[in-house]
Structure formats: C-alpha cells, structure tokens
Amino acid sequence: MKAHTKMTATLLLATPLLAGLSAIAWATAAMAETQSPKPQFNTGNDIGYDVNDPSYFANYAPELPAMLARMPEISADTGLHLSEIEPGLFFVTDGVYQSSFLVTDEGIVVFDAPPSYAHKLPDLIRKTAPDSQIRYLIYSHNHSDHIGGAGVFAKIEGLDIIANERTAESLGKSDRTDLPLPTITFSGDHQFEFGGVPIEIATASFHAEDVDTIIYLPDQKFVMAVDTITPGEVPFMNFGATSDVGAYMTFFDTILEYDFEHLLSGHVSVLGMREDVIINRDYAFDVRQTAGKMMTTFFDEFETAFANFEYKNANLGYRAAIESVRRQCAEEIIDRWQDKLSVVDVWADSHCETVILYNIMH
Ligand SMILES: [Zn+2]
C-alpha cells in the first residue's frame, strides 16, 4: 500500500497542475507511517465468495462419489426419505437430520423428533402403519435439534416418553416449555421388550454436556448413537461438536462392542454401517496422533510469536501458535484422508484445533 502511494505521488509530480494534490498524497503517506495501524478485526476463517480468495467456496472438494452414491432419495412430496431397513424398523431423514420408528404388534416406538421435520412424522407414521398407535417416544439426548419437535406427539393419549434421568433433569431446568418432559426415566441401563422386540438403552458419554444414550435393538442389529460420526464424511466440526473430546475418543471402542449392521448417528442422509465407525475411528485417532506429536513444537512456536509481538500480546502469540500447528496438522490430515472421507478439507482444521486445545489442557 505504501509503495503504491509513493508511485502515485511520483506520477502526480510529473504533472504541474496536480502538484498541489501530490503534496496531500505525501502528507497522507507520512501520517500513515507515524500513526499505529487501525485494527482490522479478524472475524474468522470465512468461506470466500470471491474467486480470488483462497477460501473461495468452489475450491473446497465436492463430496466423494462413494458418498454421493449412498445418499438416499428424498421424496419431492414430503421432503423426506423413508425406508424400512429391517422388518418393522423405519429410517427417516430430511437429508440433514435422522430419526427412526419401530412398528410392533403392540404399537409404535419413535426415536427422536428433529424439529426440522417432526411436524411431518405423525402423518408419515399413520400412513406407514394405519392401524397402530404411537406408544413410546425415546429421547437420545437433551439437544433441541434432535428432540425439539417432540411437541407434536404431546397430545397422544397413553404416550410415554423415555429418557435418561439426567436428560429429564436438563429439560426440566430449561425454558423449552414446548418440549414434553419424559414420563419414564432411568439411570444406567434400561432394557424392556415391546411387542416382542427387545429395546436396550445404555447411558453413555461422548457428546452432550450432561449425558448421552446408546439405543440398541439387538434383533434388528440396529444401534443409535446421535451426534457421533457422519457416515461417509469426517465428523462434524470439533468432532461432532462434542463437549468432551476424551470421551468422544473412547466412544469408538464402546460402540464397536455392539453387534450391529445399521448405525443411526443423527446427521446427513446416509445411514451408517460398522465400517463407517471403523474408518471414522481411524480418522479421529490419526488426528489425535498427528496433532499430539506436533504439540512438542507448540510452546516453541508460542515463544517465537510472543517475542515477535515484543511480549505485548500473549493472546495473539497463542493464536499464532495454534494456527501454525493447526495448519501443519490439517495439511497432513487432508493429504491422507481426502480420498477416503468426504469434507475433510472443511473440518480437518477444526478437528486439529480441538485436539490441540485438549492437549494444552490435559
Ligand atoms: Zn446434540
């Protein structure tokens, strides 16, 4: 900018008529040199919409063909995909959220009620099983984006809502008055049989700030662990926005102990399989190891940056060190995983940063 101003001034000097203006240009340049720079607030690593921006959105890799091939068809009429994945067990998605319901001889069990489409569920369920009553609604965890549409079931007579007692406690304390509170709560494990179908709910910890559950239907080899992985893709930002990175990393061993073929993890349109858990585990462990080994240089990077900032801004020094390690980690991770999992270039930096912060604190 300074060089440009000087060049402009030189050109102006060549024209006597504009000599007065050149003096102003020189004065402006001199002022800029003596004043401290005006802060240019860094508001984040935004996706760019300008073709010259390195973060230009089209520079991000498209979803991998293997992922696109697995995406189920969404009905133009309902905006939903509905499929019977095992006899009586139905999978529902709007392409962003996922839930399911089970039709038995004694009635219907609904698992989660995402607000993005829960208002369509009663009708969808009625059309699928016209002679059956909804008897149970089970909450996977307390987050509104997965159960916030439960109000549509509230008026069903004789309906029981099942949730972990800590989920119920969190909901009781929240101001979400439109969300019906659980009528049956449990701690630890809760197993029951309904219409001849065993349903096993285990208390777990991998995502929510209070408690998570793993819902398992052994006969259907179906397991539901919401906000864990996204099949075909790397996990969502900060490892499924987990509130506990350590617990998230141990989740893989826990879930792989189950004998399952179908995994409902709550997001994107693709229903998961056992292999999806394994590849996501390998990815998560690779990020943990890659960022972990780079931590050895973290404090050197901080020292260098802090010295460069004349020991005046430790926060900026921290940020510089985090960014440097994050960039090196993300480069390695993207390089290794770009052909195996979709959207790694979108989230690798957040995964690396999550591990860096975890390592600083543990
Ligand atoms: Zn959640």
Distance 226 CA to ligand 1 centre (A): 7
Distance 236 CA to ligand 1 centre (A): 11
In this prediction, residues 285-306 reach a mean pLDDT of 93
Q: What is the pLDDT of residue 177?
A: 85
- The confidence band for 243, taking pLDDT boundaries of 50, 70 and 90, is confident
| 53-57, 286-290, 354-358: range with lowest mean pLDDT | 53-57
Give the dihedral of Cα atoms 318, 321, 326, 331; nearest 10 deg: 160
Residues 199 and 67: their CA atoms lie apart, in Å, by 30
The reply to whether 27 falls in a domain is: no
The reply to whether 238 falls in a domain is: yes
Say yes or no: 263 and 297 in one domain: no
Q: CB of 194 within 8 A of CB of 233?
A: no
Say yes or no: 293 and 149 in one domain: no
Distance 228 CA to ligand 1 centre (A): 9
Q: Which domain holds residue 154?
A: 65-272
- The confidence band for 218, taking pLDDT boundaries of 50, 70 and 90, is very high
Q: Which two tokens stand for residue 245?
A: 């990175």
Residue that finishes a domain, picked among 272, 296, 322: 272
Say yes or no: 177 and 78 in one domain: yes
Residue that finishes a domain, picked among 272, 305, 330: 272
Distance 227 CA to ligand 1 centre (A): 5
Say yes or no: 104 and 253 in one domain: yes
The reply to whether 242 falls in a domain is: yes
Say yes or no: 208 and 319 in one domain: no
Q: What is the pLDDT of residue 2?
A: 37
Q: In the predicted model, what is the mean pLDDT of the chain?
A: 89
Q: Which residue has the tokens 């991000």?
A: 60
In this prediction, residues 243-272 reach a mean pLDDT of 95
- The confidence band for 356, taking pLDDT boundaries of 50, 70 and 90, is very high
Say yes or no: 127 and 220 in one domain: yes
Q: What is the pLDDT of residue 54?
A: 76
The reply to whether 83 falls in a domain is: yes
Say yes or no: 90 and 134 in one domain: yes
> Tens of pLDDT along 48-101?
898 888 788 888 898 999 999 999 999 999 999 999 999 999 999 999 999 999
Distance 309 CA to ligand 1 centre (A): 39
The reply to whether 38 falls in a domain is: no
Say yes or no: 76 and 203 in one domain: yes
Q: Which residue has the tokens 């430790």?
A: 314
> Tens of pLDDT along 111-147?
999 999 999 999 999 999 999 999 999 999 999 999 9
Distance 7 CA to ligand 1 centre (A): 56
Q: CB of 218 within 8 A of CB of 260?
A: no
Distance 34 CA to ligand 1 centre (A): 51
Residues 24 and 9: their CA atoms lie apart, in Å, by 9
Predicted confidence (pLDDT) at residue 184 exceeds the cutoff of 70: yes
> Tens of pLDDT along 8-62?
333 333 333 334 444 444 444 444 455 566 666 666 667 889 888 878 888 889 8
In this prediction, residues 138-160 reach a mean pLDDT of 96
Report percent pLDDT > 70 for the chain.
88
Q: What is the pLDDT of residue 128?
A: 97
Secondary structure in 3-state letters for 249-301:
HHHHHHHHCCCCCEEECCECCCCECHHHHHHHHHHHHHHHHHHHHHHHHHHHH
Distance 195 CA to ligand 1 centre (A): 29
Q: CB of 95 within 8 A of CB of 74?
A: yes
The reply to whether 280 falls in a domain is: no
Higher per-residue confidence, 98 vs 360: 98
Say yes or no: 228 and 297 in one domain: no
Write out the residues surrounding ion ligand 1, Cβ under 5 A.
143, 227
Q: What is the pLDDT of residue 48?
A: 85
The reply to whether 47 falls in a domain is: no
The reply to whether 245 falls in a domain is: yes
Distance 269 CA to ligand 1 centre (A): 16
Q: What is the pLDDT of residue 15?
A: 38
> Tens of pLDDT along 317-344?
999 999 999 999 999 999 999 999 999 9
Pick from 150, 170, 292: nearest CA to 243: 170
Please tell me the total count of domains within the chain: 2
Distance 2 CA to ligand 1 centre (A): 50
Distance 306 CA to ligand 1 centre (A): 37
Say yes or no: 133 and 109 in one domain: yes
Say yes or no: 185 and 212 in one domain: yes
Distance 71 CA to ligand 1 centre (A): 22
Residue that finishes a domain, picked among 272, 301, 328: 272
Distance 154 CA to ligand 1 centre (A): 21
Q: What is the pLDDT of residue 35?
A: 59
Distance 142 CA to ligand 1 centre (A): 7
Distance 297 CA to ligand 1 centre (A): 34
Residue 223's CATH number: 3.60.15.10
Q: What is the pLDDT of residue 44?
A: 62
Say yes or no: 294 and 188 in one domain: no
Tell me, what amino acid is at 172? G
